[in-house]
Amino acid sequence: MNLSEPFNTKRLHFRLLNQSDTDAVYKQFSDPDMCRYFSEPPCDYNEAVEIIEHYAQPEGKGHHRYGMFDRETDAFIGTCGYHYWDAERKQVEIGYDIWKDYWGQGYMSEALPILLDTCFTQLDVDCIYILTHPQNAASMATVRKFGFELCEPCREVEEEPQVCMKLMRS
């Protein structure tokens, strides 16, 4: 699979973010409700542009992010992807965010199998982990459904306290 190629699930369309998504990315990463569990502070408009540029052309990079869009309406649902890919340690961190209007509707349960498969097959990792805010119970419950378990941090963390959960290749 080419990481840059768009693909679909039952309800979602995944593609690379582009500059036409700047307003949606800005809205997503500047909203106080959305940023409550993020490790970075809310972004400004220029930082939204930089986020999109950072994740452009993912092939061969240690990070990648897909924009997730509703297949029927093309509404921006959120993003998901990976970062901190460590080929030597055969591990990668995943991350995701769903716009608050779509919380609790199973979008990450639909997206995670694709993301996990991409990490295990395309990146050839043995460990996929997620760092999340200790109060983000919904995110922890979602990844638990896929077999993630609490663990010690898989990388050094400078941000506020984070809970680390990992899934090992089985």
CATH classification at residue 78? 3.40.630.30
CA distances from 153 to 47, 78, 120, 150, 168 (A): 27, 25, 19, 9, 14
pLDDT of residue 1: 57
Token digits of residue 64: 């990648």
Q: Is 109 within a domain?
A: yes
With a cut of 50, which residues of the chain have pLDDT below it?
none
Dihedral sign of CA atoms 33, 110, 123, 90 in order: positive
Q: Is residue 80 part of a domain?
A: yes
Question: pTM to 2 decimals?
Answer: 0.91
In a domain, 146, yes or no: yes
pLDDT of 67 reads: 97
pLDDT of residue 93: 96
Note the pLDDT of residue 149. 97
> What does the alpha-carbon distance between residue 145 and residue 30 come to, in Å, rounded to a whole number?
29
Q: In the beta sheet, which residues pair with residue 70?
A: 12
Cα separation, 1 vs 3, whole angstroms: 6
Distance CA 49, CA 2 (A): 24
Q: What is the pLDDT of residue 61?
A: 87
Domain that holds residue 76: 7-168
Task: Provide the number of structural domains found in the chain.
Answer: 1
Question: Would you state the pLDDT for residue 100?
Answer: 93
Assigned domain for 2 exists? no
Domain assignment of residue 86, yes or no: yes
Give domain status of residue 145, yes or no: yes
Whether the CB-CB separation of 127 and 166 falls below 8 Å is answered with yes
